[in-house]
């Protein structure tokens, strides 16, 4: 059989996860975080990429501080990966974690009225914990996800998402239709909005233009769903999580609603800068650097 890089990397990951799951949960989470933060992320270039993005947005930040944050981001990401492959343990942890906030009552009221809820969040903390926390309350949660480039990894990635809380729909025409129908029929769905979406307009994110999808706001208005930001962050012990239901976002127009979602996420990142996935090329970093250089060269 010919060597296949995707198959090989997926097989390696499966073996790594299988071995990790043989040790107690807390040790497993800390071990996978260390392995990702100190071995995988440096080798894959994630630390240096996160440092570049941190200093792009915070030019006053020292390289040492940016590297410290980038390392903690990578550790958090590694912990999140193995948590999501440990559904039952994660579910138990969340039963003893803080789940609440001013939007929780509105969430329950909407569902009691038969109104769908669209939970929106960003790549902060272990963002999958919001779905597990809601599932613990007795509500299945649909997810909309971007398929992984590696088809072998994507197969069990989708299965894992569905095993956590409910159906997972790929970002395709068919998937979006099914996702929308789920919410319109009074269900709960969750999606992340903080990825670079070049077919959408720029919205200011930390003072710089970032192409941002307005799909969540458009869908909420179309279906009449409650648009509810929910953010999570990892506690100091590295194991427990806070899941915070914010006040719902009023239906005005898609751009205003998306701008408000973005402001809410910014506030979370300022509070927990080492838990947002700075590896994402959120701003089109090279283009933004070029624009900065051109401005500085102008007399």
**Model pTM?**
0.90
**Residue 281 binned pLDDT confidence (cut-offs 50, 70, 90):** confident
Q: Is the pLDDT of residue 42 over 90?
A: yes
Q: How confident is the model at residue 273 (pLDDT cuts 50, 70, 90)?
A: very high
The domain ranges of the chain are 5-297
Looking at residue 1, its pLDDT comes to 40
d(CA 71, CA 250): 37
Write out pLDDT tens, residues 113-123: 999 999 999 99
Residue 229 · residue 266 · CB < 8 Å: no
Q: Which residue has the higher pLDDT, 152 or 259?
A: 259
pLDDT exceeds cutoff 90 at 70: yes
Domain spanning 5-297 has what CATH number?
Answer: 3.40.1130
- For residues 52 and 210, what is the distance between their CA atoms, to the nearest angstrom? 16
pLDDT of residue 285: 64
List of residues 6+ apart from 272 with CB closer than 8 A: 124, 125, 233
Percent of the chain whose predicted confidence (pLDDT) is above 70: 91
| pLDDT confidence band for 46 (50 / 70 / 90) | very high
- Mean pLDDT of the region 168-188: 93
The answer to whether residue 171 scores a pLDDT higher than 90 is: no
CB 32 within 8 A of CB 79: yes
- pLDDT score recorded for residue 270: 97
Please compute the mean of the pLDDT values over residues 79-101 and round it to a whole number: 94
Which pLDDT tens digit goes with each residue over 198-254? 999 999 999 999 999 999 999 999 999 999 999 999 999 999 999 999 999 999 999
Average pLDDT value over all residues in the chain: 90
Residue that the structure tokens 């319109």 belong to: 184
* Distance of alpha carbon 81 from alpha carbon 156, whole angstroms: 12
Q: For residues 103 and 246, is the Cβ–Cβ distance under 8 A? A: yes
Most confident of 150-159, 175-184, 290-299: 175-184
Measured CA to CA in angstroms, residue 14 lies from 11, 21, 92, 239, 242 at distances of 5, 11, 23, 22, 29
């Amino acid at each position: 059989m010919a060597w296949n890089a995707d198959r090989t990397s997926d097989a390696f990951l499966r073996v790594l996860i299988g071995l990790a799951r043989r040790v107690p949960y807390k040790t497993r989470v800390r071990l996978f975080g260390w392995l990702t933060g100190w071995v995988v992320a440096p080798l894959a270039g994630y630390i240096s990429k996160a440092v570049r993005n941190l200093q792009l947005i915070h030019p006053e930040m020292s390289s040492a501080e940016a590297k410290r944050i980038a390392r903690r981001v990578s550790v958090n990401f590694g912990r999140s990966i193995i948590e999501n492959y440990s559904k039952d343990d994660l579910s138990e942890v969340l039963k003893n974690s803080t789940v609440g906030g001013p939007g929780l009552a509105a969430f329950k009221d909407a569902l009691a009225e038969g109104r769908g809820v669209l939970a929106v969040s960003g790549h902060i903390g272990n963002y999958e914990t919001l779905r597990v926390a809601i599932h613990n309350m007795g509500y299945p949660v649909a997810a909309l996800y971007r398929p992984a480039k590696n088809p072998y990894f994507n197969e069990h990635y989708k299965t894992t998402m569905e095993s956590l809380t409910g159906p997972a729909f790929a970002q395709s025409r068919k998937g979006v239709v099914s996702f929308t129908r789920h919410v319109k029929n009074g269900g709960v769905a969750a999606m992340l909005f903080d990825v670079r979406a070049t077919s959408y307009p720029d919205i200011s994110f930390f003072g710089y233009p970032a192409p941002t999808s307005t799909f969540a706001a458009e869908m909420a208005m179309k279906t009449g769903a409650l648009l509810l930001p929910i953010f999570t962050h990892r506690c100091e012990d590295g194991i427990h999580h806070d899941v915070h239901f914010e006040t719902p976002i009023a239906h005005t127009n898609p751009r205003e609603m998306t701008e408000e979602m973005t402001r809410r996420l910014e506030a979370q990142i300022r509070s927990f800068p080492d838990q947002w996935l700075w590896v994402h090329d959120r701003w089109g970093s090279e283009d933004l650097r070029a624009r900065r250089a051109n401005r500085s060269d102008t007399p």
